[in-house]
Amino acid sequence: MADSSPLIIEPRHRAADATVILLHGLGADGHDFEPLVPALPLDGSLAVRFILPHAPRMSVTVNGGMEMPAWYDILDMNLGRRIDEAQLKASADRVHALIDAEIAKGIDSRRIVVAGFSQGGAVAYHAALTYPQPLAGLLALSTYFATAESIQLSEANRALPIEVHHGSFDPVVPETLGHEGAERAEALGYAVNYRTYPMQHALCPEQIGDIGQWLNARLGVERV
């Protein structure tokens, strides 16, 4: 699934010692969440590198076969079940390669967060919970746990904290799917914090504040 290099946003004041990998949703690209980074209320002591990859273009069945940026094909609108799982896993492997590269640069795996919105969130679920070294956390935004029934979990991330956010008026990925994904993760033994916001398929200011505080808690020096 070769594609252009991801958008990388470095911390301004010193070299990065933590990383957030954030995957966009269907039809978008890495620039979609570029404005989020400066809006996050991150603690000034943090030096976080944000990696915003771009999904490759592919034909998407539910959109009449139209080509667009996508992490995997969606075969019908029952989003939680009918997807091209092989493509999703290939995208998760790509995330693993990004994590490997960060570790090679000197970032402790326990200071790497995997995050994703919508389709990207489904990939983030799989990538984080199958990665063979301990990570800092998983942030799942307006998404679903597409591979819950087939995933081979990594023992290294059995204690991974999971933060799930969803809009209560989401017309694209119904909140029932987001809640179901959180419940499936809990059933697998994970500690999941679920938050809902009065919004559609998007982010809202209150949520951005919560994301910043969660990242502060996960990536603060005391977490190392």
> In three state form, how does the secondary structure of 48-83 look?
EEEEECCCCEEEEHHHCCEEEECCCCECCCCCCCCE
Catalytic residue at 118? yes
* Cα–Cα nearest to 139, from 124, 158, 127: 124
Catalytic residue among 118, 126, 142, 165: 118
* Phi/psi of residue 210, nearest 5 degrees: -65, -40
Catalytic residue at 170? yes
Residues 74 and 82 sit within 8 Å (Cβ to Cβ): yes
Catalytic residue among 29, 32, 73, 170: 170
Q: Which residues pair with 113 in a beta bridge?
A: 20, 137
- Burial letters for 56-87: b for 16+ Cβ neighbours within 10 Å, e otherwise? bebebebeeeeeebbbbbbeeeebbeebbbeb
Catalytic residue among 3, 84, 179, 201: 201
Catalytic residue at 154? no
Measured distance CA(132)–CA(86) in Å, rounded:
19
* Cα–Cα nearest to 55, from 77, 72, 79: 72
User: Which of the residues are catalytic?
Assistant: 118, 170, 201
